[in-house]
Amino acid sequence: MSLSLRKSLFSMSRQVVCLRRFQICTRSFQQEQGKEQVNLFTSNNSAQPFQGGRKPNFGGSKPQITVDRELPYPYKKRDENRIYFVVFAVGITLSCLVIFNYEKSSSPIINSILYYLRRSTIAQDALGKDIDFASSWPWIWGTLNTVQGKIDIKFKVKGSEQKGWLILKADRESKMHPFVISEFVLEVDTPDSKVAYDMRLDPEYEFDL
């Protein structure tokens, strides 16, 4: 047998011996770990007497949490909640009405009406000079919808001498057609009676939308 073959056989036998030793060590280590786990499990699950009315905690699970008090009654504040809801609804409605009225009072049509009244001789004779809204917070009654072609409004105005109501009614068929004014009246309350002035009959200026 050659020398090289002997060396190879010797190295192989050493490798087999080392591998066998490693397997034996690994198996013994696994057996020791298994024994420790079994001892730990039996120590945790050993029988213990019940204390304080509690149930034993098997398997290391989390204890149950309970609340020793009555649940709140859901309809206890029903009437109070209804009052809050009504107040909230009324507040929202009033806010929407104020916003819509502000949009109408600041529209170009209202500005055109006031500009026409300040220049009209009929309005100046009936109300006096410095014609404007009757109050700092004017309220525009009626419908002012230029998109649908519907104008039916009424609001209060004042001058240096009198106060009155301005009434305007106008319609149009479509956006391609101009507004047709059916009523444009200034009503002034005098000490004797109510006088209505047709603003379309002004001799100097003509009102158009």
For residues 113 and 202, the answer to whether their CB atoms sit within 8 Å is: no
Average pLDDT for 27-35: 65
Kindly report the pTM of this predicted structure: 0.59
Does 139 map to a domain? yes
What is the length of the chain? 209
Are both 114 and 92 inside the same structural domain?
Answer: no
Does 169 map to a domain? yes
Are both 94 and 130 inside the same structural domain?
Answer: no
The percent of residues in the chain predicted with pLDDT above 70, rounded, is 71
pLDDT at 192 over 80: no
Are both 100 and 111 inside the same structural domain?
Answer: no
Average pLDDT for 104-116: 91
Does 171 map to a domain? yes
pLDDT tens digit sequence for 47-62: 445 444 455 555 556 6
Does 65 map to a domain? no
Please give the DSSP secondary-structure letter assigned to residue 1.
-
pLDDT at 29 over 50: yes
Both tokens of 201, joined, read 């009959």
Are both 114 and 149 inside the same structural domain?
Answer: yes
**Burial (CB count within 10 angstroms: exposed 0-12, middle 13-18, buried 19+), residue 58:** exposed
- When divided into structural domains, the chain yields a total of 2
Residues 135, 105: Cα–Cα separation, whole Å: 12
Are both 131 and 184 inside the same structural domain?
Answer: yes
* Predicted pLDDT of residue 205: 75
* Predicted pLDDT of residue 50: 46
Average pLDDT for 143-147: 90
**Sequence-distant contacts of 99-106: CB under 8 A, at least 24 apart:** 101/139, 101/140, 104/140, 104/144, 104/153, 105/133, 105/138, 105/140, 105/155
Domain final residue pick, 61, 89, 106: 106
pLDDT at 45 over 80: no
Q: Determine the structural domain holding residue 100 and report its residue range.
A: 76-106
Return the minimum-mean-pLDDT range out of 2-6, 37-41, 76-80, 175-179.
37-41
Which alpha helices (H) appear in the chain, and where do they start and end? 3-44, 78-105, 108-119, 121-127
* Predicted pLDDT of residue 47: 46
Residues 1, 10: Cα–Cα separation, whole Å: 13
First vs last C-alpha separation in the chain: 126
Are both 102 and 156 inside the same structural domain?
Answer: no
Are both 89 and 130 inside the same structural domain?
Answer: no
pLDDT at 158 over 50: yes
